[in-house]
């Protein structure tokens, strides 16, 4: 029941494109306020406009405040200083969507640059953990909150050329599952959404801007869209308070 989301404040990392942007628009439609975080300011402003339009079309009075905030989740000092950039009315976050993440390349392990390895861990793992730490203390003090981490099928299954990315997403999976057990005596909910193939900018980033190789990944199947995953995220967030959706694995029909 989406009415449970009315007036809530959601923080989404990686809100400038793909799954994060689609999730923002869907939460906006459901009458929430949103902190939109990513590195690209212009893209965030476009998503903010899309949120304003979606909220207006919903006709809801609740929610409707959308703040784009430039943040690199791998920059520890910037994460620590986040609240100084957040409008006072949006400092009490109810739902954290840890979505920022990427993969670059498909080299075998001996051929991967150290900077590429460190970059993926810094964003996909340490960035997600840093954002969680920033919010979980407040969630515990207020005895409420929901942490939704975007893992991947790569957090369950290995693939050739994916040693580093799969390691980061296995780390997300282990971190999320442990945290859920730690928080079991609190009303705080913890969810992991694990998408299969979703057509977003993900593949373009993966192949370093080579859009035709990026497109070829989806040959012979109909990939998921960012909206498909956004629906799962908003669904998990809108369950009754005693229901915790622990894990959701979502594939395109033609992927297994
Ligand atoms: P996109 O590339 O479209 O979106 C990734 C988002 O993460 C962008 O908004 C990007 O924004 C942001 N981002 C990347 N690095 C950082 C950073 N250091 N700090 C802040 N924001 C950052 O891809 P998707 O929407 O597909 O990816 C979203 C999540 O879904 C990722 O965690 C990905 O691993 C996961 N996933 C995706 C799958 C797919 O097939 N697409 C499958 C399974 C999981 P900006 O560049 O502006 O910072």
CA 73 to centroid of ligand 1, rounded, Å:
11
CA pair distance 80, 13, nearest whole angstrom? 15
CA 42 to centroid of ligand 1, rounded, Å:
16
Q: Is the CB of 152 under 6 A from ligand 1?
A: yes
CA pair distance 51, 33, nearest whole angstrom? 9
Q: Which of 45, 159, 169, 218 is catalytic?
A: 169
Whether 169 is a known active-site residue: answer yes
Q: Is the CB of 18 under 6 A from ligand 1?
A: yes
Counting residues of the chain whose pLDDT is more than 90, the rounded percentage is 99
Phi, psi at residue 216, to the nearest 5°? Answer: -65, -20
Q: Which atom of ligand 1 is nearest the CA belonging to 223?
A: 40
Report the half-sphere exposure of 183 (CA within 13 A, side-chain side): 25
Q: Is the CB of 43 under 6 A from ligand 1?
A: yes
Q: Cβ(251)–Cβ(223) under 8 Å?
A: no
CA pair distance 134, 131, nearest whole angstrom? 5
DSSP conformation letters of 139-170: HHHHT--EEEEE--GGGT---TT-HHHHHHHH
pLDDT tens-digit map of 7-57: 999 999 999 999 999 999 999 999 999 999 999 999 999 999 999 999 999
CA 229 to centroid of ligand 1, rounded, Å:
13
pLDDT at 256: 79
pLDDT tens-digit map of 67-96: 999 999 999 999 999 999 999 999 999 999
pLDDT at 1 over 80: no
User: What domains are there in the chain, each with its CATH number?
Assistant: 2-250 (3.40.50.720)
Strand intervals (E) in the chain: 9-13, 33-38, 66-70, 95-98, 146-150, 189-195, 247-250
pLDDT at 106: 94
124 burial (CB, 10 Å; 0-12 / 13-18 / 19+) is: buried
- What number is the average pLDDT over the span 144-160? 97
CA 61 to centroid of ligand 1, rounded, Å:
31
pLDDT at 104: 97
Q: ipTM value of the model?
A: 0.99
141 burial (CB, 10 Å; 0-12 / 13-18 / 19+) is: exposed
Whether 56 is a known active-site residue: answer no
Q: Which atom of ligand 1 is nearest the CA belonging to 224?
A: 40
Q: Which atom of ligand 1 is nearest the CA belonging to 102?
A: 34
pLDDT at 168: 98
DSSP conformation letters of 95-114: EEEE----------GGG--H
Task: Tell me the pLDDT of the chain averaged across its residues.
Answer: 97
Q: Which atom of ligand 1 is nearest the CA belonging to 73?
A: 19
Select from 13, 15, 18, 41 the residue to mutate for testing ligand 1; criterion: most ligand atoms less than 8 Å from CB. 18
CA pair distance 14, 98, nearest whole angstrom? 8
CA pair distance 215, 169, nearest whole angstrom? 23
Q: Is the CB of 150 under 6 A from ligand 1?
A: yes
């Amino acid at each position: 029941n989406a009415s449970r989301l009315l007036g809530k404040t959601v923080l989404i990392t990686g809100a400038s494109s793909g799954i994060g942007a689609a999730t923002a628009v869907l939460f906006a439609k459901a009458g929430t306020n949103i902190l939109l975080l990513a590195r690209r300011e212009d893209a965030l402003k476009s998503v903010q406009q899309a949120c304003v339009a979606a909220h207006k079309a919903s006709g809801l009075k609740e929610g409707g405040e959308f703040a784009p905030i430039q943040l690199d989740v791998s920059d520890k000092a910037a994460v620590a200083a986040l609240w100084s950039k957040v409008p006072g009315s949006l400092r009490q976050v109810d739902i954290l969507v840890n979505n920022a993440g990427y993969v670059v390349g498909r080299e075998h392990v001996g051929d991967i640059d150290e900077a590429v390895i460190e970059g993926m861990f810094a964003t996909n793992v340490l960035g997600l953990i840093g954002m969680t730490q920033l919010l979980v203390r407040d969630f515990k003090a207020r005895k409420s909150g929901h942490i939704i981490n975007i893992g991947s099928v790569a957090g369950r299954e290995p693939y050739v050329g994916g040693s580093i990315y799969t390691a980061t997403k296995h780390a997300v999976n282990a971190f999320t599952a442990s945290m859920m057990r730690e928080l079991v005596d609190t009303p705080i909910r913890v969810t992991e959404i694990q998408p299969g193939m979703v057509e977003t900018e993900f593949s373009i980033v993966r192949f370093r801007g080579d859009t035709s190789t990026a497109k070829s990944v989806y040959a012979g199947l109909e990939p998921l869209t960012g909206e498909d995953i956004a629906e799962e995220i908003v669904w998990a967030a809108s369950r009754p308070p005693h229901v915790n959706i622990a894990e959701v694995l979502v594939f395109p029909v033609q992927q297994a």
